[in-house]
């Protein structure tokens, strides 16, 4: 019997985190039977991942696949959905996410109620890794939350998938928030390029790229309730500068290219420009973060000069770097940073005058 839903977890050397994830899923999988399959794709781990999966298999059915060699993060992820999953729909999970009780049944129910839909959005609550560091956790440790990926907590369908892009805090980039029809996914994934991790958009946000190619303009479902607990550990921290300065903006550009309205991505653009302070400070100080060897701050400024968030980030970045270092890096950049400071001081001056009714 073909399962209706494949829940896929790619993993590598994170047995402790994987154990918590599987513990949250195993009773739900056992409850629904053959309608759902659980798959773990082990990217040639050297820890006790196999033993964790073996323990889970005593409580619920689980398919365990171990790659003969480490094929890389993205290829392990893609291979799980493309080659291992058998379900009509696929739900990719990180090995560090937890799933609240009732989530699997809720998604199955939505799939059955909306057989015409290709996409189902699963909301998530956001927590810091410090809440679980150094200890095993369960879903009971995260009964309350202050932030969710989507602030709309009402279960509903939307007329256009891209409305969820606008609503989701991360613009649909987390893999765990998307349940998709595999046939649609396979069509979009066929053109993904293989390369170095984070070296291009396909190797940074493969899920979002495929969804952009296949879901724009289509109706979709949103869970409302945050069934997923996001409290993972960033293993890619050194690539944050290239993501903030390049890749996320490239994704937003792709959304626009495929017909997503500018108003739906503008909030994400402004937020990412606001978060550019630290990466810009690294570049202005003469550092070359990974994959930013050809990055030009000047081109970056010209491209986003109409956004006040850029000037605020540039002002803060320049304040963290001695002007002499910036001049050594680039005299035009030094001029831009002085301009940024002047613009923001003028804006603040006008705000003060306005507030005092002068």
Q: What is the DSSP letter of 76?
A: H
Nearest-angstrom CA–CA distance, 286 and 6: 47
Instruction: Tell me how far apart the alpha carbons of residues 131 and 127 are, in angstroms, rounded to a whole number.
Output: 7
Look at 346 and 221; give whichever has higher pLDDT: 221
Task: Write down the mean pLDDT value for the chain.
Answer: 90
Contact 136, 130 (CB under 8 A): no
Task: Give helix 206-215 / helix 248-257 axis angle, nearest 10°.
Answer: 10
Distances (CA, A) of 348 to 270, 314, 323, 354: 19, 15, 22, 10
**pLDDT value for 225:** 98
pLDDT of 334 reads 62
**Distance between CA atoms of residues 18 and 316, nearest Å:** 39
Q: Which CATH architecture has domain 5-235?
A: Alpha-Beta Complex (3.90)
pLDDT score of 128: 86
- Residue among 153, 151, 171, 149 nearest 254 (CA): 171
pLDDT of residue 99: 97
DSSP annotation of 148 reads B
Please say if the pLDDT value at position 219 is more than 70: yes
Bridge partner residues of 158 (DSSP): 220
Q: Judge whether 199 and 291 are in contact, CB under 8 Å.
A: yes
Cβ atoms of 94 and 176 within 8 Å: the answer is yes
Rounded Cα gap, residues 345 and 206, in angstroms: 41
Answer for the pair 237, 134: CB distance below 8 angstroms, yes or no. no
Paired strand residues for 157: 221
Rounded distance between C-alpha atoms, residue 47 and residue 49, angstroms: 6
What residue spans of 258-322 are helical by DSSP H? 262-274, 277-284, 297-303, 308-319
Q: What is the mean pLDDT of residues 26-43?
A: 96
Between the alpha carbon of residue 100 and those of residues 14, 144, 149, 208, 266, the distances in Å are 20, 12, 15, 24, 32
Q: Where are the domains of the chain?
A: 5-235, 257-355
% the chain with pLDDT above 70: 88
Q: What's the rounded Cα separation, in Å, for the pair 232 and 16?
A: 12
Kindly give, in sequence order, each residue whose CB lies less than 8 Å from that of residue 79, ignoring residues fewer than 6 positions away. Answer: 41, 67, 71
pLDDT for res 173: 97
Average pLDDT over residues 6-28: 95
Average pLDDT over residues 45-59: 96
Q: Nearest Cα to 279, choosing from 237, 308, 224? A: 237
Q: Give me the mean pLDDT over the 26-37 stretch.
A: 95
Q: Is the pLDDT reported for residue 207 higher than 90? A: yes
* Selection from 97, 101, 90, 98 nearest residue 32 by Cα: 101
DSSP state of 244: I
Q: Work out the pLDDT band at 338, boundaries 50, 70, 90.
A: low
Give the pLDDT score at 241.
96
319: confidence class by pLDDT, cuts 50, 70, 90: confident
Greater pLDDT, 329 or 62: 62
Contact 37, 86 (CB under 8 A): yes
Name every residue whose Cβ is closer than 8 Å to that of residue 176 and which is 6 or more positions away in sequence: 91, 92, 93, 94, 97, 122, 124, 228, 230
Place of tokens 């890794």: 129
Give per-residue pLDDT as tens, 258-293: 999 999 999 999 999 999 999 999 998 888 999 999
């Amino acid at each position: 019997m073909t399962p209706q839903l494949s829940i896929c977890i790619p993993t590598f050397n994170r047995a402790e985190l994987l154990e918590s994830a599987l513990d949250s899923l195993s009773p739900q999988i056992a409850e629904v039977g053959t309608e759902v399959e659980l798959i773990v794709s082990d990217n040639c781990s050297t820890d006790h991942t196999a033993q964790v999966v073996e323990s889970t298999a005593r409580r619920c059915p689980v398919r365990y696949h171990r790659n003969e060699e480490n094929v890389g993060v993205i290829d392990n992820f893609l291979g799980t959905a493309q080659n291992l999953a058998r379900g009509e729909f696929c739900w990719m999970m990180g090995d560090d996410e937890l799933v609240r009780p009732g989530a699997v049944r809720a998604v199955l129910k939505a799939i059955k109620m909306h057989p015409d839909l290709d996409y189902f959005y699963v909301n998530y609550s956001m927590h810091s890794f410090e809440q679980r560091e150094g200890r095993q956790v369960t879903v009971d440790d995260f009964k309350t939350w202050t932030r969710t990926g989507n602030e709309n907590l009402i279960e509903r369908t939307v007329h256009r998938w891209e409305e969820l892009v606008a609503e989701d805090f991360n613009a649909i980039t987390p893999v765990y928030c998307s349940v998709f029809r595999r046939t649609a996914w396979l069509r979009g994934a066929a053109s993904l390029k293989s390369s170095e991790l984070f070296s291009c958009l396909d190797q940074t946000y493969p899920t979002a790229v495929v969804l952009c190619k296949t879901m724009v303009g289509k109706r979709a479902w949103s869970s409302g309730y945050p069934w997923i607990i996001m409290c993972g550990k960033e293993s890619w921290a050194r690539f944050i500068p290239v993501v903030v300065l390049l890749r996320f903006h490239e994704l937003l550009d792709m959304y626009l290219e495929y017909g997503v309205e500018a108003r739906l991505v503008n909030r994400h653009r402004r937020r990412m420009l606001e978060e550019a302070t630290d990466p810009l400070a690294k570049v202005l100080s003469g550092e070359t973060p990974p994959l930013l060897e050809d990055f030009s701050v000047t081109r970056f400024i010209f491209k986003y000069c109409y956004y006040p968030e850029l000037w605020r980030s540039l002002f803060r970045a320049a304040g963290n770097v001695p002007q002499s270092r910036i001049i050594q890096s680039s005299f035009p950049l030094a001029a831009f940073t002085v301009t940024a400071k002047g613009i923001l001081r003028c804006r603040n001056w006008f705000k003060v005058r306005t507030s005092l009714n002068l």
